[in-house]
Amino acid sequence: MLADSLQWGIAAGLGTLVGAVLIFIKRHWSPRGLAFFLGLAAGVMTAVVVFDMLPSALLFGQAGIALGGIALGFMFMVTFDHLLGSRRSGSHSLLGLGYLILLGIALHDLPEGMAIALGDVMKNRTGMVIALGIGIHNIPEGMAIAVPLVMAGMNKPFILVQVLLLSLITPIGTLLGIYLIFLLPALMPLLLGLASGIMAYLVAFQLWPQAKTHDLHSGRHGFWLGMIIILAATFV
């Protein structure tokens, strides 16, 4: 399990690096294409929460703890994004903006890595699909980091090194999740709820709003395809 979880965590983290590389190769991407992939990630993560994470958390027979974990995860992301947004609005430097985005994404990536580990405890496939959704989500985040740094004139190899280091945060979160599961197994309902709350927030306030902004029609196609893929994998 350790090797598989870590493998998925590394793969998801590298999505950030892929996003930065894509900015160097091509600056402009079709809004429809971006909307489709953001919608796909939103559909995958929604289906994983609804059909895997929440049922598994409730199976422990501690619904109150699981629901508390969901609320805690959701509120953590709301609070953090609010604080980050306040700081970002006061920055007039492209370089400062790039580093604020990098810091914010680093703090997001740690609990996302934990979600991969928790999914892998339930089923190897669940950890894999969570990593897929997070990896797709990380691609535009890598773009968001690279754009202001490139525009500020920073050397591209140096940007890549920094983004590569950032991509290690997700597997570090995966390792942290694994050790918490083995050291404190009684926390499983809380941790599963926490991961569900984090993923629900990412879908509701990041992935889906961004998909709609680029192209609502393509975003819907991606969303329902992601849902169908996970439904088929769960019940077929």
Query: Which pLDDT belongs to residue 89?
Result: 47
Query: Which pLDDT belongs to residue 224?
Result: 93
Task: List the one residue out of 15, 23, 114 whose CA is nearest residue 72.
Answer: 114
pTM above 0.85, yes or no: no
d(CA 218, CA 67): 33
* Side-chain-facing half-sphere of 160: CA atoms under 13 Å: 9
Ranges of the chain with pLDDT below 70: 1-3, 26-29, 60-61, 81, 83-101, 103-105, 107-108, 121-125, 144, 147-148, 151-152, 233-236
String of DSSP letters for 128-195? HHHHHHHHHHHHHHHHHHHHHHHHTT--HHHHHHHHHHHHTHHHHHHHHHHHHHHH-GGGHHHHHHHH
Query: Which pLDDT belongs to residue 99?
Result: 65
d(CA 177, CA 53): 15
Distance from the first to the final alpha carbon of the chain: 24
**15 is written with which tokens?**
């999505």
Query: Which pLDDT belongs to residue 91?
Result: 41
* Side-chain-facing half-sphere of 103: CA atoms under 13 Å: 13
What residues have CB less than 8 Å from 175, skipping those under 6 apart?
6, 9, 113, 117
In contact, 60 and 66? CB cutoff 8 Å: yes
Query: Which pLDDT belongs to residue 124?
Result: 58
In contact, 113 and 169? CB cutoff 8 Å: yes
Query: Which pLDDT belongs to residue 103?
Result: 63
In contact, 13 and 159? CB cutoff 8 Å: no
Note the pLDDT tens digit of each residue in 45-76.
788 788 777 777 777 667 788 888 889 888 88
Query: Which pLDDT belongs to residue 221?
Result: 92
Query: Which pLDDT belongs to residue 220?
Result: 93
Query: Which pLDDT belongs to residue 154?
Result: 79
**50 is written with which tokens?**
């609804």
d(CA 144, CA 85): 14
In contact, 159 and 21? CB cutoff 8 Å: no
Task: List the one residue out of 138, 135, 61, 74 whose CA is nearest residue 106.
Answer: 138
Where in the chain are the domains? 2-23+31-235
d(CA 214, CA 157): 29
**150 is written with which tokens?**
């490139």
